[in-house]
Chains A and B, each alone.
Chain A
Amino acid sequence: MSDYVFRFGGEGGEGVISTGELFTTACARSGLEIYTFRSYPAEIKGGHAMIQVRVADKNILLSRGDGVDVLLAFNKEAYDRHYKELKDGGVLVFDNTDFLPDEDTRTIKYPIPFNKIAMEEIGVRLTKNMVSLGSLSELFGVPQDKFKELIREKFGKKGEAVLEKNFKALEAGAKYVKENLKKQDKVQVQPTGRQPRLVLAGNEALSLGAIAAGLRVYAGYPITPASSILEFLAKELPKVGGVVIQTEDEIAALGVVLGSSFAGKKAMTATSGPGFSLMTEMLGLAVMAEFPAVIVNAQRAGPSTGMPTKMEQADLMMSIYAGHGEAPRVVLGLTSVEDCFYGMIRAFNIAETFQTPVIVLTDQGLAQREASLLKPDVLGIEVVDRKKPTAEEMAHYERFKITPDNISPMAVPGMPDAFYSATGIEHTEAGELNYEPANHNKMMNKRYQKLQGVLKLPWIVKTYGLEKPEVAVIGWGSGEGVIREAVDIANKEGLKVGALHPKILWPFPSEIINKYLAQGVKRVIVPELNFSGQFATLLKAHLANGNRNIDVISMAKGGGIPWTPSEIVNKIKEASKIHV
């Protein structure tokens, strides 16, 4: 079994990221699983750029991993920044025409003069990236053919001469390794013979999921880290006859979404915290008028402008409670790149079924990281549409009719005789404005009760690890993979730990969580990337009477960087010790 973390570091704008991406795709095409993590310079040009990819031949790849197995340092800064994370016995590949590392015996070091080879043998400095890929291919076993295939696809349009230069650089890198270096490490990432994997970033998978769910109108305003959704859909949505509008602000974006939903189309917007803040009034309208709508919030560190290029899970409470009055809505947390695709389909299906805004929480880390994915079975996707009035219901149409499941048939303009006026003012079942307290209570009850149906869906939580644990890890959103990995490690060490991961965050899945806890859980660890422990607060508030003696340990970190498995393993060990 192989499972390695490769990290590429160098000057931004010099092709470091695209080198890492080519390496990633070549591995995925070899049937390997991949998981990337990157940090961008805050500046548009220049600064330090880093991409790392975890490559493994096992089926489930859960996190970015702990430490680094192979560091490719294009310059001194990359070495200075990342060398300390290179594991003992790890491999440093570096450009010895740029710098020389300190002498130590902690790691294996391969000096390769990328710059010199690029200049002397190819005559183009930037081909050093291809030289480096050639060297990696020779050192670690990724077939050169996979790189050539990718180079041809990427640069084929630039003509044979350009292709030849790149191929030559690739070969020169491999040749240098063969002739000058002796392999001293054990790292191998060879093809598996399994089906090639797709490589998708979270935001790409999310956008594809939306299209698969039937999205037809997208409106949004540029904001990091959600802009790539706007850009992706601007290109792809027209291909299925859909519309993308870049609006003047986020208020208008949600306005376009609600207008489109009223007119019968599936619509969504995506934003980050600052834009979501602007949408809150319109969110209340969606609840009151009972419109399906999907709102993606790609969380970044706040408050205010905060740290646009760093992740955080700090908009949970806001997503649940944003807006004045009491406006029940559904909040989902996406858990992985794969879940970005399938989770969006679930989000649209819930929005349509329950005629409700659905807030989908992702974050900067999940939005931008890439993972391997088997191509989804497009024809097998179940897509739900809203309940429409029958001819008989249209004849005496009541837009907000109270039904056994509190979901009313929704007419759309164009239907004969089902005239109604949607409104944010409190109204009767027939949609007439009404300010009577009794009616208000009745309609509030309808809006709350209809969402209880969401909690009956079969997939709302996922459990992992020991079935009846003593220590439970309950996280949410993009922490699912890293928590599972930590649980695996802890289980192997004999610790009685399991994990529960809610995909539905609101309405709060109290019943199912309490049932899980009542099996004998003594402590709950809640890892989340925010400062105050928002989910832990919710969990404490929802503990059933019989579970109130359970210790809820908030593991909150607001720093902008995702967890590593070892951080969570250490917490599990600590929690396990206390009550042994």
Chain B
Amino acid sequence: MSKMTAAQYKTKIEPVWCPGCGDFGVLNALCNSLSARDVDPKNTVFVSGIGCSGRLPPYVKSYGFHTVHGRVLPIATGIKVANPDLTVVAVGGDGDAFAIGGGHIPHMSRRNPSIVYIVMDNGTYGLTKGQASPTGPLGMKTAASPYGTIEPPLNPIAMALAYDISFVARAYSGKNKELEALITRAMNHRGFSLIDVISPCITFYNTYKDLPPQLAAIPETHDVKDRSKAFELALKEDKIYLGLFYENDRPTFEERIRGVVDQSESSGIPRLDEIFLDFA
């Protein structure tokens, strides 16, 4: 079968997103990357949480699972351990990832399954009409924070680095080529990868004008194996760096699980009869 084009990876379902939503850029980059890597749709699963970005799975020709708010990562883990041959891509927003679902992230790092996690980060809860999210700036005025928010934002990259996630990157949905390249690189990565994609909400928190001047590519000289340097870049207050901050090659969860099975002297054949002997 000839290679599928990016367009062929898109289904006929019309996205619910507002015209101009940053998530369109993410969908495009994703499909370009799938086409470039010649990914087999039948062995690919998109898993999502709740939010505008969580609606993505049915827009891609593949298997999909639109789950509940904040739980995309454990569910994606279940899929990966059940069938390690599947390409598993988790997607969701910043509320899904860093507010309700934040507790799962460190454990993804500990396990390091080969799952790509794309966070479409817009600093707001678009689906519930514009409340501040954990990455919205301090003082952000919304219907739920009429006097301005009083909680400073999280720094997702610094947090991911602190958790020692084995692939940490940031992208901007408006820079499609770079985003595509990062997604492709994450898909090739052994282990868990997190890409924080700044993906503006045109309706409730439009940053299309303010953002670009602050964006800068990570210097080409940056050594992606240097976690301390990666922290330095992540903590810069005057610039928002885009690109790959950190990559680390270590055993994946699937490999370690295989190791446990081997250690238990599995014959691969159920041997219930033998287990019963322990209780005789």
Instruction: Spell out A's residues near B (CB within 8 Å).
Output: 29, 196, 198-200, 204, 208, 211-212, 216-217, 219, 235-236, 238-243, 245, 247-249, 251-253, 255-265, 267, 281-282, 284-285, 289, 375-376, 378, 411, 413-417, 419-425, 432
Contact = CB atoms under 8 A, between A and B. Distances in A.
A256 B74 contact: yes
Contact of A262 (B68, B79, B261): B79
Contacts, number: 173
Contact of B74 (A199, A216, A259, A264): A259
Contacts of B63: 411, 413, 419-421
Contacts of B61: 419
A259 B75 contact: yes
Contacts of A198: 276, 279-280
B163 to A, nearest CB: 12
Given A289-B65, A378-B276, 7 more contacts: A239-B266, A239-B271, A240-B269, A242-B261, A267-B78, A413-B79, A414-B83
Contacts of B77: 245, 252, 255-256, 259
Contacts of B103: 248-249
A216 B43 CA distance: 20
B210 interface: no
Interface string B57-89: 110011111111001011111111111011000
A340 to B, nearest CB: 13
Contacts of A256: 74-75, 77-78, 81
B232 interface: no
Main secondary structure of the interface of A (DSSP, over half): mixed
Contacts of B83: 263-265, 413-414
Given A248-B103, A255-B71, A259-B78, A414 B43 contact: yes
Contact of B272 (A212, A217, A411): A212
Contacts of A243: 81-82, 257, 260-261
Given A252-B107, A285-B67, A413-B42, A260 B81 contact: yes
Nearest to A425: B66
A416 B279 contact: no
B275 A208 contact: yes
Interface residues of B, number: 53
14 contacts: A198-B276, A198-B280, A216-B82, A235-B264, A247-B74, A255-B71, A258-B75, A260-B81, A264-B83, A282-B71, A284-B68, A375-B280, A413-B42, A414-B43
Contacts of A257: 78
A378 B273 contact: yes
B265 interface: yes
Nearest to B69: A281
Contacts of B106: 248
Nearest to A214: B270
Nearest to B110: A248
Interface string B251-264: 00000010011011
A158 to B, nearest CB: 19
